[in-house]
Amino acid sequence: MIGTSSSSAPVPGASPTGVHPATDPGRAIDLDAFRAKPLSFDPFAHVIIPGFVRAEARAAIHRDFPEIELPGSFPARELSYGPAFAALLEEIQGPAMTAAFEEKFGVDLSDHPTMVTVRGRAKAQDGQIHVDSKTKIITVLIYMNPAWESAEGRLRLLRGPDSLDDAVAEVPPEEGTLLAFLNGPTAWHGHTSFVGQRRAIQLNWVRDEGVVKREQFRHALSAKVKRLNPFR
């Protein structure tokens, strides 16, 4: 399986993190809803959970979301944000979340670190059809945009690399919505062009710490270039 470690898959109901998947429902996040939703395998293994971020937690997270005026992905550690956003980042990288994802996707994540990047705005060139880097095992996108009314900028899960119209599912980036998928050579996705605020948190479990260091350096360098030349 693409992106899995060499160790055996966890026994259902148990976790190498030491947290039983059914013992923590989540605070800002709804892990019970995540556990209850079965995986879809068309066109690749994924799950979509509207309302994954609880309604009662969203106002504080919106208030404390980092101010990002430029397009592109920014490492979370390079940004300034308030306590509610910090608590959300801690929770989605915590042992209960990891245990739930191990059980859902059948992948041992115990030796794989997490990496978080944040987006605040989209530019016209964003959303081109792609698959994620081979160094990423699972990709999680959590959207935080109130009432997404545009027909554009909705992520599409695709059967192949040739057309955005060859989609199996479309995910509006509405507040609280989670999309998670197992990375692989056929995990094609993209969205139609959109310019404006498009808030997204991206969490990845990656192969090793070297990936985290390289990716964070790359994103940080890109962010510095954008600040020097915002029209790039």
Rounded mean pLDDT of 116-132? 96
| 25-29, 79-83, 172-176, 218-222: the lowest-pLDDT one | 218-222
Say what the pTM is: 0.83
200-229 pLDDT, tens digit each: 999 999 988 877 777 666 655 665 655 556
CB atoms within 10 A of CB 31: 22
Rounded mean pLDDT of 65-75? 94
| Cα distance between residue 213 and residue 211, in whole Å | 5
Would you list the domain boundaries of the chain? 31-228
Residue 225, amino acid: V
Residue 121 has pLDDT above 80, yes or no: yes
Classify domain 31-228 by CATH architecture: Sandwich (2.60)
Judge residue 194's burial from the number of C-beta atoms within 10 Å of its C-beta, 0-12 exposed, 13-18 middle, 19 or more buried.
Answer: buried
| Cα distance between residue 82 and residue 151, in whole Å | 31
36-45 pLDDT, tens digit each: 999 999 999 9
Residue 178, amino acid: L
Q: What is the pLDDT of residue 216?
A: 66
Question: How many angstroms separate the Cα of 86 from the Cα of each of 32, 92, 129, 149?
Answer: 22, 10, 31, 28
| 18-27, 68-77, 143-152: the lowest-pLDDT one | 18-27
